[in-house]
Amino acid sequence: MSSLIRLAVDVLEDSEVPLGLRTVACTTLLYALEAGIEVPPGAPLAVWRFLLGSDASAVILHRHSLQHPDVAKDAVRVLLDREAGEGERDLALAVLRSSNVDAVTEEQIASIVDRVLDEGRARQVGFLIDRVHEQRGLSTAFLLALRDRLATSDAAPVRSIAVDVAGLPAKLDQKFVARMFSDPSPIVRAATADLLERSEAPERAQALALIRERLAVEQHRSVISACLFALGSLVRTEGRRVRQWEPPEGTGN
């Protein structure tokens, strides 16, 4: 193992060393981990604990990957800790990506969502749900339960995340979409239009019908704009699909 790596770990774990030098050591170890360079077994957790304890910005974890089971488990602990600070939760959400999301169970996601309903950190938790589903898949029953739980919130941003979650199962629930299109918040109605814009081929006809129905009564400028964009996108996509299946002229049926 490189002597530089050993020195970086020693510096990082020494609370008597100035913060600036420890930050350099932390960055060095992050680069080493990403490059696959050998580091001591406890190095990833040491980096994580330093970031939590130094009020570091979550930006560093958007730039560097810190993948380790122990780090992932502690990040989940932070998200479940009602006493955790905003910066700590930002770091925890940032580090939970790629293989780290394997540490997050459906039960823990449900508990985290309950905190979002109280604390309003909807968008970040929405990203976490999407990451977990993309990485390993969440059951349809769980996604629907999560969707319905988010949709009961008094906060419009949380209800808009319910719309995003509604787009994760393979089949779109048209009754739920119609209900969210009637939500009192334009934020939620616009999110619903955005969801329909991403409809797959088997559901495009129904999506177009729902959007046209909403446009007939919608009064809010931003929702009208979102609906018109979704309508145009779906019509263009469907037109391209039809043209691809048209037989060349003169070939008959």
Mean pLDDT of 175-181: 95
Could you read off the pLDDT of 212-239 as tens digits, one per residue?
Answer: 999 999 999 999 999 999 999 999 886 6
Angle between helices 43-53 and 86-95 (to 10 degrees): 150
Q: What is the pLDDT of residue 74?
A: 95
Q: Give the least confident one: 7-11, 86-90, 118-122.
A: 118-122
Could you read off the pLDDT of 10-27 as tens digits, one per residue?
Answer: 999 999 999 999 999 999
- Cα 117 to Cα 78, 139, 159, 162, 181, distances in angstroms: 17, 21, 9, 11, 21
- Which CATH architecture describes the domain 172-245? Alpha Horseshoe (1.25)
Q: Is the pLDDT of residue 80 over 60?
A: yes
Q: How confident is the model at residue 127 (pLDDT cuts 50, 70, 90)?
A: confident
Q: Which residues of 167-178 are buried (b: 16+ CB within 10 A; e: fewer)?
A: bbbeebeeebbe
CA distance 166 to 234: 19
Could you read off the pLDDT of 9-68 as tens digits, one per residue?
Answer: 999 999 999 999 999 999 999 999 999 999 999 999 999 999 999 988 889 999 999 999
Q: What is the pLDDT of residue 202?
A: 85
Mean pLDDT of 179-190: 96
**Which residue from 14, 16, 46, 17 is spatially nearest to 29, judged by alpha carbons?**
46
Q: Which two tokens stand for residue 174?
A: 């048209």
Q: How far apart are the first and last CA of the chain?
A: 70
Mean pLDDT of 128-143: 92
CA distance 95 to 77: 13
Name the percent of the chain lying above pLDDT 90: 67
Global pTM? Answer: 0.77
Average pLDDT over the chain reads 89
Q: How confident is the model at residue 115 (pLDDT cuts 50, 70, 90)?
A: confident
Q: Which two tokens stand for residue 156?
A: 């419009």
Q: Which two tokens stand for residue 30?
A: 């992050």
